[in-house]
Every structure is written in C-alpha cells, then in structure tokens.
Structure 1
Amino acid sequence: MKKFLLYILPLIIITFYQAKGQFNSEQPNLRSRAFFTENQAVTEHAILASKYANISQWEQRAELIKKGIREGAEITSITSGSLINATFHSKKTFEGYTVENVFFESLPGIYVSGNLYKPAEIKGKLPAVLSPHGHGTDPRFGASAQHRCASLARMGTVVFIYDMVGVGDMHQCEHKISKALKLQTINSIRALDFLCGLPEVDTTKIAVTGESGGGTQTFLLAAIDTRVKVSIPVVMVSGYFFGGCVCESGMPIHKRGSHATTNVEIAACFAPKSQLLISDGDDWTKHTPELEFPHIQRIYGFYNAKNKVKNVHLAQEKHDYGISKRKAMYAFLAKEFDLDLILSNETKNTILEKEKLEVYTSEYPLPANAVQGNEQILTILNNIK
C-alpha cells in the first residue's frame, strides 16, 4: 500500500497542477507559453474578476501587479528620464518623411539600435510613437515595419523602431539569453527616454505599438511607465498564452509570492488611458472579443472610461501586423492625436533595402566599449536589480 501511495501521489500532484495550468517543476515561478488551456483561462479570469468590484480594489491589485513586473524583471533600480547621447546618421528624405539610423547606450557597453522616422516638415511639438517589433528574421527591416513607421511619420508623428535583443543590428548577445526580458524592458525605457528627449517631441502625446513579442513589450512598458499615453498591443494580449519566448515570459513577472497574474491584467493596468487591442482569429487572441476585451473593459468601467479601450478583431486574419491591422492603428492614433488619416496612405511610402537601414557601418561602427557575448551581457544584467 505504501509503495502504491508513493507511486500515485506524485501523479495526483502533477495532474492537479496540469489542471491549474502548465506547471513546470524546473521553473515553478514562471508562467510561459500556453500555461492554461483556453477553458482554464475562462475560469482563471472569472476568479480574478471576483477580486475587484470597484476602482479602489482594482488599483490595489494593479499596484501589486506593476510592482511584481519590476521585481520579477529585476528593474526596481531602473528609473526613467535619463539623458540619451545618441548617434544619428544616413538621413534619407522621401515624400513627406525622413529616416535616420540611430544608436545609443541603454546600459554601459550595451547599445540600442534602430531607425528614427520624422515628418519632412516639422512645425512645433509633435506626438511620438515607440515601435517595438515582433520576432522573425530581421523584422525591423521588413515592409510591414517600414510601412507603419513611414505612414505614421507622414501623418505627423516622430517614430522610433528599435531592435529586439540579439536581432537586427543588436548582435552583442543572442536573443534567448536567460534575462532577455530584463534587457528588452530596460531598452524600452531607454528608447522612451530617447524619444522624450528629442526637442520636437510633445511628451504628453506618447504612444507605443508593436506586434507579437513587440506587443508584449508594448503592454509591459505601458503598465510600468507613466509617460505612455496610448497603448496598442497587436496580436498578443491573451488570457491563456503568456508568450513563447524567454524575452516575454522567461522571468517571474506573472507569479510572485504575493500574487499570480496574466497578460490580460497587465494590459488592464493601463486603465483609464487610451488602449486599442488588435486581435485575429488564427492565434491565441482568437477569443479576445469574448474573454480578454470584456475583462479589460470592465476594469475601464471602474473609471467610467469604457469608451477609452477598444478592440478591433479580424477573425479571418493571421498573426501579423498586416495592412488591416495597420489601418486600425492609424485610425485610432489619428483620433487620439488629431492627425490627418488621409496621410496614412501606404502607396506613398518607400520601402528600403536592409542595407540602407543598418545602423553600424564602416563610418559608424559599433563603439569600442561595446560588450560582446552572452556571459558578458549577463554579468552586467546580474549587477542590476
């Protein structure tokens, strides 16, 4: 009998945790990938909704979640507002907008690389858009990324799109280092410091939008950085999927000693500011109109601000930042920032070859103090809490 119990009890425990979610005994503090089944996510969010019935209860919960993100990502010492000394080069002028190649330090020896898009003519202060991109092969250089940045610039905004860790021009380490989430979040904060430090930027009108892994960066930054005024996470806010990469869920930001949360609640931490969720019918956002959006909208209702959060659901589309999704984003930002939507016409954009957008060249090489290698980067990150 004892032998039977010794055999069966571990199976019971494993079954219990699997019913609760995809428990990983090697990383018990992480919620990653499809941690819940779709049905479990419905139950989980019903339980979460019962924890807050008014603005006071929600704000206590939201503060706990935001604190958990900072502690779990080990960025409690990282503050915003740093003075950024950036290098600009290779300015290109097209119909209604310009593009420059840019790099700057986010931490000593660690560099952020990207492209800065601006209207060709600048009069007064302008809204700005920070644009993290998703996973893929050099996605900063792709047509989708270039289209959204160019159109937003022609509409009258300053746009900065920057590389994921280990992607594009950021080759100081591999993408899937254990603390990629930490470095990407720090890079996002410093990229926002960079944008806010530009003399032509109106710091009261800052938006963030990205797709997939860039969508995760969008709602994480929006939750913890009060400078963000508009958040547009694309094809990423899910009740059961926590991100399939270490850069999204490889550190314990969802599960702390005090609480466990989901990306739905993290996105809701942005309430009552303007937010657009863009979802599709072919990935983990396929239930957004029935699950994720109503949960978030209820929280906005505590502020009498249900009209400040929207969902555009494209049931026949797939996981990308395609033209339909970009058009939804253009319309939302045009309304929020009083921009001319007609100027978003993508036929006016010039799609450049990768070489034209690469940041490091023989004339502008990666600086000599740049740290190289996974271990060296992790040593720097391990010294920051």
Structure 2
Amino acid sequence: MNRLLSFLIVGMSCQLAFGQTTPELCQGGYFTEAQGKEFLEKHVPSSKKEWENRAAQIRNRILEGGELNNLPPRPTSKPIVHSRRELNGYSVENVAFESVEGYYVTGNLYRPLQQKGPFAAVLCPHGHTQNADARFLEAMQFRCANLARMGAVVFAFDMLGYSDAQQCQHKLPKAFKLQALNSIRALDFLLDQPGIDKNRVGVTGESGGGTQTFMLTALDPRVKVAVPVVMVSAHFFGGCTCESGMPVHKKGDFQTNNVEIAALAAPRPLLIVSDGADWTKHNPEVEYPHLQKIYSLYGKANLVENVHLPTEKHDYGPSKRAAAYRFLAKHLRLDISKVTKADGNIDESNAQLLDRKLLEVFNADHPRPSNAAIGDDAVTALLNW
C-alpha cells in the first residue's frame, strides 16, 4: 500500500477504535454532509463584530475543552541539537526539547544555506500514517527541505507515539491537550532560532497535522500564514483522540465545527487544500465560500484561497506541496525560484531523501534523557497542570 494514502485509513481507524464515549465529543463524521452544510448556513455572521464575538466563544471552547487556559511554565532545559548535515541549499539537524518537564518534543530543524536573514519560519506537523514513521517519509522531508531552500527556517516535529516520540502511545485520552502544547512549544523553539523574522511565520500540515495547523493558528497570533491540507470539513471533526478526544467543539448548547475554527485565522492568509476522495471533497462549494464570507467582513477575501484537486486522494503529495510552496512564498516572501523549473513547474529534485537513521534524535550515541516519563500513565500524569 502507498503509505501516503494511509492517512485516510489510519484516521478512520482511529475514529472506529475511539468510538463515541460522551455527548460532548464531536468525533469523526459527527455531522452528515447535509448537516455540516446546514450548520454553516445558519452561522453566517452579519457583521465583523458579530463574527469576532463568536470567534471569542470558539477560541474559549478550545481553551476550556482542551484544558489549555493555564499552560505550564516553559521548561528551562537546553534543547538537544546534533548531527548537522549540509545538503544542497539547506542543512538538517536532529532536535529534542521539553514541552513540559518530562516530555520531549522530537523533530528536525531545516535551515537555508548561503542565504542572508532575517528568515521566515515554518512549522510542519505531520498527519497519521499506517506506520509510525511519518516524519521520515518523502512527503515530509521534501516539504521541509524545499521550504528551507526557499529561505525559511523549518521545524518538523512528531505526533505522540510517532518516529522518535515513543514515550507513550498515540491515542492518549488527552492527546489533544499534549499535542496542542507541543505545537505551541515547537513554535517557541522555532522562533528562538537566530535571524527569524517574527512577522513571517507559517504553519502547514496534512490530515491530523492539518488539524494541528488550524488549531494552533486559532490559538496563537504568532502564526501569520496557515496552510491546513486535506482536513477542513464542515461535517468531519477528526477521527482520533488527538483531534476530537476532548470537548473542543461542543459544550451544552454551544456548537462549532472545524470550518469555524479554521476561520479564526482571519484576516491572516489562509490556504485550504482539498481533494475529491475524502471529507474535503465539497470544499469549493461548502467550506471555502463560508471562509470567504468571514474574510470579506475584514475586506480581505483575497487572503483566503482553496486549491481543490478533485482527482486526487488524501495525502500531502507533489501537487499539494506545490500549492503550499506558492502560497507560502507569496505571503512569507520566500524565493519560489529556488524550487521552480524554467517552464514554471515546481522542481523538488534538489531535496535529498535521507535514511531515517540519519534523522533520528535518540540513538546509542544520543540516548533519551533520564527524566523522560515513559508509558501512558506517566505521560498522562504530566498533564495535570
């Protein structure tokens, strides 16, 4: 099976395994397609003020439902950074740092070579994959390497239970809470890098990483440009605990969905990328027009875009990456010529696919720190802040 296509399968299996356990949770296909469309039609704000009042309610629901109102202090331990490699126009380093004392966010830091700053910064969460190796797959490596070649400092980081992040299983009951914190701390780490222009900060991920993209953008104003890929849907709420395992969409009579959450990016530039084979198949006629209405309240309808690929499936494949490159280049002032052929098509061939062993943070020479909490119970205990 093509592992890029497994995003869809794994996301749905998370939904089936998790089940509907409480009426306050909106999981997987919580709405039918018709219900999702009807919900948006009933929630078109008539004014910017009306939208901003609702936006505040939506943001508060995420904070309260995700138990994110009072974040723990940022750990003071020094990040682990090693194994720098210089490649064709970019470098790669292996990184780990604590998001909360005892839990290590793991990933790779990509930097431009032979370019002068200040640099844009792009955060890259990944989606669910059949095997827990998402950070090492071609789609992730090519995305990060080519964005670095274009002039951005890029950080790719792991979901719980993926790649180097083996302190616990992925489907913790409060996975949403920890992954949201990890996204915020990953952004902290990225913006700490030398020469970063904090007015040029983007985030992009696919599927479950698309959820992380619009959730972080909704919560953190430091994000200036967002590109959630194959995830924004009026009826589908995410099928895994890391997306919908906490009551971030509903409490009592209050209800929202992922389109409204994505709209919290307004009026910052937002690109939603969709395909014809998953829950984003109606983006051009349902979700995207609603987002345009929100952006129009700010006089910024030109800052929200949809690239729809009706013959494609659920992945972050070459054409989806090409759309993201162009949008991020436009709004973060990156050099698209670094990844463009003479005919104008995107050329990713200067990125080098590295063996996972070269990108791993923890190994015999660089062991996991002794204070790392190990096991689901131990990691869950860290979340009682």
TM-score by length of 1: 0.91
Shift, 1:121, TM fit: 2.4
Alignment of 1:1-385 (within 5 A): 26-49=21-44, 52-78=45-71, 85-136=78-129, 137=131, 138-257=133-252, 259-344=254-339, 345-381=347-383, 383-384=384-385
> Take 2:113 and 2:81, find their aligned partners in 1: how far apart are those partners?
16
Tell me what 1:17 maps to: none
Q: What SS does the aligned partner of 2:313 have?
A: coil
| Aligned 8 A contact 2:201 2:332 in 1 | no
1:250-272 Cα distance to aligned partner (Å, 9 max, x none): 00000024611000000001100
> Take 2:274 and 2:322, find their aligned partners in 1: how far apart are those partners?
13
| Aligned 8 A contact 2:120 2:334 in 1 | no
Q: Select between 40-49 and 316-325 the one with higher mean Cα deviation.
A: 40-49
> Take 2:102 and 2:357, find their aligned partners in 1: how far apart are those partners?
24
Q: Select between 332-341 and 284-293 the one with higher mean Cα deviation.
A: 332-341
> Take 2:302 and 2:72, find their aligned partners in 1: how far apart are those partners?
31
> Take 1:187 and 1:147, find their aligned partners in 2: how far apart are those partners?
23
- Corresponding letter in the other structure for 2:352: T
Shift, 1:337, TM fit: 1.9
- Corresponding letter in the other structure for 1:337: L
Going from structure 1 to structure 2, the CA distance change for 1:220 and 1:84 (only over 3 Å counts) comes to farther
1:178-235 Cα distance to aligned partner (Å, 9 max, x none): 0011100000000000011111211111100000000000000000001000000000
> Take 1:349 and 1:257, find their aligned partners in 2: how far apart are those partners?
49
> Take 1:80 and 1:240, find their aligned partners in 2: how far apart are those partners?
36
Q: Select between 103-112 and 199-208 the one with higher mean Cα deviation.
A: 199-208
TM-score by length of 2: 0.91
> Take 2:196 and 2:141, find their aligned partners in 1: how far apart are those partners?
20
> Take 2:173 and 2:102, find their aligned partners in 1: how far apart are those partners?
19
Going from structure 1 to structure 2, the CA distance change for 1:330 and 1:80 (only over 3 Å counts) comes to farther
Going from structure 1 to structure 2, the CA distance change for 1:208 and 1:301 (only over 3 Å counts) comes to same
Q: How many residues are aligned here? A: 358
> Take 1:162 and 1:220, find their aligned partners in 2: how far apart are those partners?
16
Q: Select between 74-83 and 179-188 the one with higher mean Cα deviation.
A: 74-83
| Aligned 8 A contact 2:26 2:237 in 1 | yes
Identity %: 51
> Take 2:325 and 2:74, find their aligned partners in 1: how far apart are those partners?
28
Structure 1, unmatched stretches of 5+, are: 1-23
| Aligned 8 A contact 1:83 1:194 in 2 | no
Shift, 1:25, TM fit: 7.2
> Take 2:20 and 2:238, find their aligned partners in 1: how far apart are those partners?
19
Shift, 1:122, TM fit: 4.0
1:16-72 Cα distance to aligned partner (Å, 9 max, x none): xxxxxxxx87411000100111111111111122xx200000000000000110111
| Aligned 8 A contact 2:150 2:338 in 1 | yes
Larger radius of gyration: 1
1:69-109 Cα distance to aligned partner (Å, 9 max, x none): 01110010127987673111001111100000000000010
| Aligned 8 A contact 1:84 1:193 in 2 | no
Aligned structure 1 segments of 4 or more residues deviating by more than 3 angstroms: 79-84
| Aligned 8 A contact 2:74 2:99 in 1 | no
Q: What SS does the aligned partner of 1:348 have?
A: coil
- Corresponding letter in the other structure for 2:86: T
Q: What SS does the aligned partner of 1:208 have?
A: strand
Q: What SS does the aligned partner of 2:43 have?
A: helix
Going from structure 1 to structure 2, the CA distance change for 1:25 and 1:96 (only over 3 Å counts) comes to closer
Q: What SS does the aligned partner of 2:216 have?
A: helix
> Take 2:41 and 2:312, find their aligned partners in 1: how far apart are those partners?
28
Tell me what 1:19 maps to: none
Tell me what 2:12 maps to: none
| Aligned 8 A contact 1:84 1:197 in 2 | no
Instruction: Using CA pairs under 8 Å that are at least 6 residues apart, name the structure with larger relative contact order, 1 or 2.
Output: 2
Structure 2, unmatched stretches of 5+, are: 1-18, 340-346
> Take 1:202 and 1:125, find their aligned partners in 2: how far apart are those partners?
5
Going from structure 1 to structure 2, the CA distance change for 1:196 and 1:84 (only over 3 Å counts) comes to farther
| Aligned 8 A contact 1:283 1:318 in 2 | yes
| Aligned 8 A contact 1:83 1:197 in 2 | no
